[in-house]
Amino acid sequence: MLQPNEIEFIATNGHRSPSDIALDARKFPELDIKKLAHQIQARQKLTEKLPHWVANRQIYFPASISLEQSSSESTASFKASLVSGRLIDITGGMGVDAWAFAQTCSEVTYVEMEEELAAITKYNHAVLGVKNITHYASNGLDVLNQVDVDWIYADPARRNEHGEKVILFKDCQPNVLDVIAQHPDKKMLIKTSPVLDISRAIQELGGVSQVYVVCSKQEVKELLFVKQGSPTMDPLITIVEDGRTIFEGTQAKERLVENTIGPVKHYVYEAHPGILKAGFFKSVLQANMVQLGDHTHLYSSDEFVGEFPGKIFEVIESGPVQGNWLPVKQANISTRNFPMSPEALRKKLKLKDGGEFTLFGIQNSSKKNELILSKKITFAHSN
């Protein structure tokens, strides 16, 4: 995939702008500069997402869409911690997940329909030193019927054959509902986009044994659904931040929690995005803590709750939306159940962006709009 002179060029010019490199094409008639500019651009973009891959000078990165759709090393490694034995990845793609699975599984079968991408992935796995992956440039469902495995992994494309976005599993490629029906005794791990509705997905899959909301750097990256053993319509939902469990619960327990609504107190708490994605708006409440409104997913207490899974702020002042009382000219702005966007509120209040303060716009416990000026308290467990 990469010749020695190409590898050397990438190493020498890895710090440069790909557009500047493209302008120098005439200086290197013996090289495919467009190809090498893409390789350099990919390495620059993926330094944090795929550090081990980027560190290997022989890795050849495929087209940009494959890079965007691939898992990060951290999320792939978490998925790999959930499986063992023999596994087939029926939606192979760039092969980051298959590479991670090879670290925990005895045998991995990688399948990708696009022949060029499959060839690139086979090459990359080889230069990474992986020896327990068998590669197929084929249809994943066809290969699935030819091999004996313990686990099936699928990351279905959320577009139909016409390229249109879809929201139901039955409309995705491949249709994992067919896979489940045809292989009911196999364990299955399904990855989806973070925008998927968890409750609807559980219903459509006919119940699952576990759900994971996988996060990194305070952002929901993907959802995982595990079919293993006896499925249930009320599985344990676990929120994971960079491989560490930060919260878990069930939808049934969430429905039973009594919501305590109250006014703003000395501290304000912003739940981790993964907890909000899971819908644990009440379960996250802790002793002596109130929610600031029926649909305002911010929490408050007079006593400091340091173990809260999210960000913690100390309240400076609170008051009406007419901001003459605000003692600052600069703040980060966040709105919850509020009639204005952060940008519109910033314009109205004539505040500069950034700085050490955070201004929340909320609908409060009295169903009135309110501003809360606060300052973040930084602790290692609640970044």
Task: Give tens-digit pLDDT for 201-211.
Answer: 999 999 999 99
- If we measure between CA atoms, which residue out of 315, 320, 309 comes closest to residue 362? 320
- Closest by alpha carbon to 62, among 88, 34, 93? 93
Rounded CA gap, 101 and 92, in Å? 11
Q: Which structural domains are found in the chain, ordered by start?
A: 4-65 (no CATH), 68-248 (3.40.50.150), 257-382 (no CATH)
| Residue 380 vs residue 284, higher pLDDT | 284
Residue 117 has pLDDT above 90, yes or no: yes
Measured distance CA(238)–CA(372) in Å, rounded: 31
* Separation CA 63–CA 327 (nearest Å): 51
| pLDDT, position 379 | 56
Cβ within 8 Å of residue 250, ≥6 positions away: 234, 235, 236, 237
- Secondary structure (H, E, C), 14-48: CCCCHHHHHHCHHHCCCCCHHHHHHHHHHHHHCCC
Per-residue pLDDT at 295: 93
pLDDT of 252 = 97
Question: What average pLDDT does the segment 298-324 reach?
Answer: 94
Q: Is the pLDDT of residue 104 over 60?
A: yes
Instruction: Identify which of 43, 74, 72 has the alpha carbon closest to the alpha carbon of residue 56.
Output: 43
The angle at the Cα of 310, spanning 305 to 313, to the nearest 5 degrees, equals 65
- Residue ranges of the alpha helices (H) in the chain? 4-13, 18-23, 33-45, 51-55, 64-69, 73-80, 96-104, 115-127, 140-144, 176-182, 198-204, 251-256, 273-278, 342-349
| Predicted confidence band of residue 130 (pLDDT cuts 50, 70, 90) | very high
User: Which residue in 81, 45, 377 sits closest to 240, CA to CA?
Assistant: 81
What is the rounded distance in angstroms from the CA atom of residue 162 to the CA atom of residue 220?
28
Show Cβ contacts of residue 368 under 8 Å, excluding neighbours closer than 6 positions.
Answer: none
Rg (CA), the chain: 24
Average pLDDT over residues 228-247: 96
pTM over 0.85: yes
Q: What is the pLDDT at residue 30?
A: 94
- Nearest CA among 70, 73, 92 for reference residue 81: 73
Segment 146-158, tens digit of pLDDT:
999 999 999 998 7
pLDDT of residue 54: 97
Name the residue among 264, 270, 262, 220 with its Cα closest to residue 376. Answer: 270
pLDDT value at residue 383 = 43
Identify the pLDDT of residue 271.
97
For residue 315, what pLDDT is reported?
98
Provide, rounded to the nearest whole percent, the portion of the chain with pLDDT above 90: 90
d(CA 115, CA 121) in angstroms, rounded, equals: 10
- Judged against a pLDDT cut of 80, whether residue 382 lies above it is answered with no
% of the chain surpassing 70 pLDDT = 98
* Average confidence (pLDDT) over 315-339: 94
67 φ, ψ (degrees, to nearest 5) = -65, -40
pLDDT digits (tens, 9 = 90+) for 19-71: 999 998 899 999 999 999 999 999 999 999 999 999 999 999 999 899 998 99
Asked if pLDDT for residue 286 goes beyond 70, the answer is yes
